[in-house]
Amino acid sequence: MKSYKQRGYENRIELLQGTLDLMILQTLQWGPSHGYGILQAIRTGSGEVLQVETGSLYPALHRLERKKWIKAEWTVSENNQKVKSYQLTAAGKKQLAAERSNWERLTAAMAGILNPTEGPEGA
Amino acid sequence: MKFWRHRKDEELDAEIRSHLDEAIRDRIARGETPDEARADALREFGNVGLVKEVTREMWGWASLERFWQDLRFGLRMLRKHPGFTFAAVLLLALGIGVNTALFSVVDAVLLKRLPVNAPEQLVLLSRNSSGKTIDNFSFGMYERLRDHDRTLTGLLAYYPLRLTASIAGQPEPALNGQLVTGNYYAVLGVNAARGRTLTPEDDRTPGAHPVCVISDGYWHRRFGRDPKVIGQNISLSNQPFTVIGVTPPEFFGTEVGAAMDITVPLTMQEQVIPGIRSFMRGGTRFRLLGRLQTGATMAQAQASLGLLYQQYMADELQRISTSNKGKGPDPKMLAERLQVASGSQGLSALRRQFSQSLFVLMGVVALVLLIACANVAGLMLARAVSRRQEMAVRLALGAARWRLMRQLLTESLLLAGLGGLFGWLSAWWGTRLLLPWLSQGEIPLRLNLTPDLRLLVFTAVAALLTGVWFGFAPAWLATRVELHTALKQDVQAAGKHGGRLGFGQVFVVAQVALSLLLLVGAGLFVRSLQKLQQVDTGFARENVVVLKLEPVGSDGKWNVLPQLTSLYDELLRRTQAFPDVLAASLIGYSPMSRREWLTMGETPDTMATISLPEYTPSSDEEMDVHFMQVYPNSFAALGVPLLAGRDFTPQDNDKQAPPVAIINESLARRFFGNQSPIGRRFSNRLGAVEIIGVVKDVKYRSLREQERPMYYRPFQQPGTSRGQMTLVVRTTGDPLSLAAALQREARALDPAMPLFTAETLAAQLDASLAQERLVAALSSVFSLLALLLACIGLYGVLAYDVARRTHEIGIRMALGASSGRIVQLVLRETLWLMSIGVVIGLGTALAATRWVKSLLFGLEPHDPLTMGLAVLTLLVVAAVAGYLPARRAAKVDPLVALRHE
């Protein structure tokens, strides 16, 4: 049985899953990084707008690893600390490209809906 | 897996720790104090336990995890109720055990025992001569077919014979041997289990290859599986032969029913059977088996081989008529046709005969397992009802129903698994118990019973199906809880459901029906066996000893007639000199020597076409009848009543004496009706024969056989070349000590003669019923077991019912119901359940017993007496099972019962 809180996490995962995956893959495109690093990169990259919770990040990382889009390795960070560092695989790069174009089509569509330049009759 | 899991957990811990460390370091770098940094980092991270939990879910092991949970919980529940667990596991182990045991035998007999490579490609050759099928060929025919045919990849010839062996100078019991062409093993696709098999190289030059291959059975029997047997010498007819290989255990040779001991190259024939001219130069003795080319059909082989055969016969005819002007050629020769039949069938006829009983028994034990399942399901159900409150509480706390059902099913599977485990272990022991039963009789059953993967899979599947079958209904029922009622009411009230049949009752009805089915089956088999044992065989069963005599060379009677005659006469003289001997004589084949009759087939040695001067057969009437050569006094020795005329005298037993015959009752009835056949004549191939006596019909082949026409001739008269006889002695003394004495006499008279075991006719008869006895005994045991289980089930349901209705019964008694009335009340339920079960069971039995018809004897599958007895047995036993709870109900003290709530 799952507690209320746990279910809350799950809902958010569902909500964010597509975009979170895309964000993680995009972040890793610049080079390997560990969980905390990815979190910080997303936060600063989004101008402190997006706060990804660890309860979403780590399941996502482990899921992506299982799908073999990213692979993990224990390395030493610039702070001389042992960290689990993730990096994109070839499959992950392909997935990133696919999700990016999906996302672009989606945002374009959204933009079309939100800022109609022509009425439906004008088409 | 646990270890792996552990490591992943540690890794996740480390990952989270490093995350926190990084966060703390960052915060310190931004100016926070270490304590603040730590607290903030932790707050920012959130609930570490939860993060771990949701991350772990991503590993895909969550369902496995839950399964472990269920399993642990299930084990705890089983431990908490040892009585229930013990009963359920015992029942299941029993059910699964008998199934596994029998399956291992079925597996060994039917599935494992494909003795050759791709048996469907094998073809058996025979020739059809004016309606008769003959499966013997001459070597000349063999060579022609082998060398010119293109539809076969190979054609082999073999000749089965009895061999006289000695090892290290000591005489050995007679061996079943065969002479084979060098390609024998290659064509069959049989490889040696040890050493090597014969190759064409071993069959090149006559007399130059003193080698032999022995069977696994002989290796086991004589050499105790000693690996040093390769290279050892076995003397056959005093010629040393070197053992070069042992065939695999599943290979028994190609003869149906015979278990081959030793195989020798055909070119060694003159060494093995000294004094007989080479088989390769004449005589039709060889049986031929071929292997089809890939892609070739039987019809193509038939066409090709048939043509070659006809050409050969035409050539032969030519040769005979030019070389031998006096005798005209036999016009029948050209009419002969070659036949090609499936060889795999020829190889497995016996197996099929055996397989039916095995399948029936398999069905029986499957039913036993079903009953055991129904029983355990009943137990589970009772427990499920008592666990309703637990379930209700869990459901109320938000557990999903499927989750609870899964929990309960896991428990059933756990039980089934335990049952399977113990079943498997007990099967080991059960099979060893079963095997001596199966091996009784003349057909030796040498089975490879080492449990293999297939058996394990069978047990596992049986256990799994069992678990699902008996677990599902209780699980479904237990979780079908109306929360508010279940939570409020106590156990007793919760178990109450209206007048409809509950699951428990359904299980009882099923058990009653199934055990009735088994009882009917067992009754049919037992009664068939009884009827078979009462069959009038035509001969005396008791105090008759038989000993097979196959002196070397007796295959060709005419070559060795003087030696044979003096041997037989001397043996008879010495036998008669024993005290207690009432009569002694020789007959061609002893009754119920099953292997003999199976392998003999219908050869010119045992069958003859007859004609009668006053009798015109219809165009398709069968005029081939069996005949047997006997010595005078044989009917007295066998105890066959002479109905008319006289027995043969020593004067009749002479080649020059006027041809005479004694016919059996069936032959007399068929051709002479009510007239006396004495003094009348019939003719066979060699001329007219006078009938001098009529004897009663004798069953020779099996107790089930129909009476058939047959006649007897004095040993010296018929044209057959068969010279082997069987000594028959009737005694007033101990047959077994006489048997031993006879063996010694025979040995002393002819040390070269293969040594056979003297047996009583009663033992041979008994052995011929081994299969029937096995089916009758096992089905009886299993049906009684089923009956017992059904009664326990019935008792359980009723006892539970009485306990549940204590309150009601108390009220009834308080209102004045007598205890007799209460007993009636409970018995009425028994009767009700029984009658439904009996109706269903009888209906099923009526439909199902048809399938065992061929195993029955002397009664119909719907035998009313058997059915009636089965129902009666069931009712009596069930009445007892029902009476106990009824009496307990009657003893209910109304005061106690009313205070019960």
Do A55 and B19 count as a contact with CB atoms less than 8 A apart? no
**Considering its fold, how many domains does chain A have in total?**
1
ipTM: 0.81
Question: Which chain A positions have a beta carbon within 8 Å of B54's beta carbon?
Answer: 6, 9-10, 13, 55, 58-59
Do B47 and A5 count as a contact with CB atoms less than 8 A apart? yes
Q: How many helices (H) and strands (E) does chain A have?
A: 4, 3
**Considering its fold, how many domains does chain B have in total?**
4
Decide if B143 is inside a domain: yes
pLDDT of B164-223, one tens digit each?
788 888 878 778 889 999 999 999 888 898 999 999 999 988 888 999 999 988 898 889
Decide if B405 is inside a domain: no
Rounded-to-integer distance, Cα B795 and Cα B884, Å:
8
- Same domain? For B224 and B329 the reply is yes
- Same domain? For B169 and B41 the reply is no
- Same domain? For B202 and B331 the reply is yes
- Same domain? For B555 and B611 the reply is yes
Which string of b and e fits B530-545 if b means at least 16 CB within 10 Å? Answer: eebeeeebbbbbebbb
Rg (CA), chain A: 17
- Same domain? For B675 and B656 the reply is yes
Of A9, A34, A58, the CB nearest to B18: A34
Length of chain B in terms of residues written? 901
The whole-number pLDDT of residue B778 equals 84
Is the CB of B59 inside 8 Å of chain A's CB atoms? yes
Rounded-to-integer distance, Cα A54 and Cα A42, Å:
12
The CATH number covering residue A72 comes to: 1.10.10.10
* Interface test mutation site (partner A, options B7, B16, B19, max chain A beta carbons within 10 A): B19
* Interface test mutation site (partner A, options B22, B73, B407, max chain A beta carbons within 10 A): B22
Q: Are strands B624-630 and B710-714 parallel, antiparallel or unpaired?
A: parallel
Question: Which chain A positions have a beta carbon within 8 Å of B399's beta carbon?
Answer: 1
Is the CB of B49 inside 8 Å of chain A's CB atoms? no
Last residue of a domain, one of B755, B772, B797: B755
Range of the domain at B697: 551-755
Report residue B255's pLDDT band, with 50, 70 and 90 as the boundaries: low
Rounded-to-integer distance, Cα B143 and Cα B533, Å:
49
- Same domain? For B262 and B146 the reply is yes
Percentage of chain B modeled with pLDDT above 90: 23
Report residue B752's pLDDT band, with 50, 70 and 90 as the boundaries: confident
Decide if B238 is inside a domain: yes
Over residues B681-705, mean pLDDT: 88
Alpha helices in B331-342 (DSSP H): 332-335
Rounded-to-integer distance, Cα B776 and Cα B43, Å:
79
Whether the per-residue pLDDT at B617 is higher than 80: the answer is no
Mean pLDDT value across chain B: 82
The whole-number pLDDT of residue B495 equals 43
Residue of A nearest to B404 (CA): A1
Over residues B810-835, mean pLDDT: 84
Question: Which chain A positions have a beta carbon within 8 Å of B58's beta carbon?
Answer: 59, 62-63, 66
Whether the per-residue pLDDT at B244 is higher than 90: the answer is yes
For chain A, the straight-line distance linking the first and the last C-alpha, in angstroms and rounded, comes to 53
Per-residue DSSP letters for B832-857?
HHHHHHHHHHHHHHHHHGGGGGGG--
Decide if B93 is inside a domain: no
Report in angstroms the alpha-carbon separations of B664 from A30, B625, B670, B691. Answer: 106, 11, 10, 10
The whole-number pLDDT of residue B496 equals 44
Decide if A26 is inside a domain: yes
Q: Which residue has the tokens 């008769």?
A: B132
Q: Which two tokens stand for residue B197?
A: 């098999």
Rounded-to-integer distance, Cα B104 and Cα B454, Å:
9
Rounded-to-integer distance, Cα B308 and Cα B303, Å:
9
Q: Does residue B314 come out as left (phi exceeding 0), alpha (psi in the -120 to 50 range) or beta?
A: alpha
How far does the CA of residue A109 sit from the closest CA of chain B (Å)?
A: 32
What is the enclosing helix (H) or strand (E) of B767? helix B761-768
- pTM score above 0.90: no
B583 DSSP β-pair partners: B730
3-state secondary structure B275-332: CCCCCCCCCEEEEEEEEECCCCCHHHHHHHHHHHHHHHHHHHHHHHHHHCCCCCCCCH
Range of the domain at A88: 4-112
Decide if A81 is inside a domain: yes
Over residues B112-128, mean pLDDT: 74
Whether the per-residue pLDDT at B437 is higher than 60: the answer is yes
Decide if B363 is inside a domain: no
Interface A-B: count of C-beta contacts within 8 A: 70
Whether the per-residue pLDDT at B247 is higher than 70: the answer is yes
Return the amino acid letter for B82: P
pLDDT of B93-103, one tens digit each?
888 888 888 88
- Same domain? For B149 and B259 the reply is yes
Report residue B586's pLDDT band, with 50, 70 and 90 as the boundaries: very high
Question: Which chain B positions have a beta carbon within 8 Å of A84's beta carbon?
Answer: 11, 14-15, 18
Do A6 and B53 count as a contact with CB atoms less than 8 A apart? yes
Residue of B nearest to A86 (CA): B15
Decide if B865 is inside a domain: yes
Report in angstroms the alpha-carbon separations of B306 from A60, B285, B330. Answer: 77, 19, 19
DSSP letter, residue B552: T
B729 DSSP β-pair partners: B545, B584
Q: Which two tokens stand for residue B553?
A: 């060379």
pLDDT of B377-409, one tens digit each?
887 877 777 777 777 777 777 666 777 788 888
Decide if A33 is inside a domain: yes
Over residues B250-262, mean pLDDT: 72
Over residues B551-570, mean pLDDT: 84
Decide if A45 is inside a domain: yes
Decide if A14 is inside a domain: yes
The whole-number pLDDT of residue A8 equals 43
pLDDT of B473-485, one tens digit each?
777 777 776 655 6
Of A34, A54, A82, the CB nearest to B51: A54
How far does the CA of residue A84 sit from the closest CA of chain B (Å)?
A: 6
Last residue of a domain, one of B349, B367, B384: B349
More confident residue, A30 or B319: A30
Decide if B357 is inside a domain: no
Last residue of a domain, one of B349, B369, B393: B349
- Same domain? For B786 and B749 the reply is no
The whole-number pLDDT of residue B498 equals 40
Of B18, B19, B58, the CB nearest to A63: B58
Report residue B494's pLDDT band, with 50, 70 and 90 as the boundaries: very low
CB B806, CB B814: distance < 8 Å = no
Of B22, B59, B60, the CB nearest to A81: B22
Rounded-to-integer distance, Cα B169 and Cα B670, Å:
54
3-state secondary structure of B584: strand
Question: Which chain B positions have a beta carbon within 8 Å of A16's beta carbon?
Answer: none
The whole-number pLDDT of residue B819 equals 82
Decide if B390 is inside a domain: no
Residue of A nearest to B58 (CA): A63
Decide if A117 is inside a domain: no
What is the enclosing helix (H) or strand (E) of A60? helix A54-66
Over residues A71-86, mean pLDDT: 85
- Same domain? For B740 and B783 the reply is no
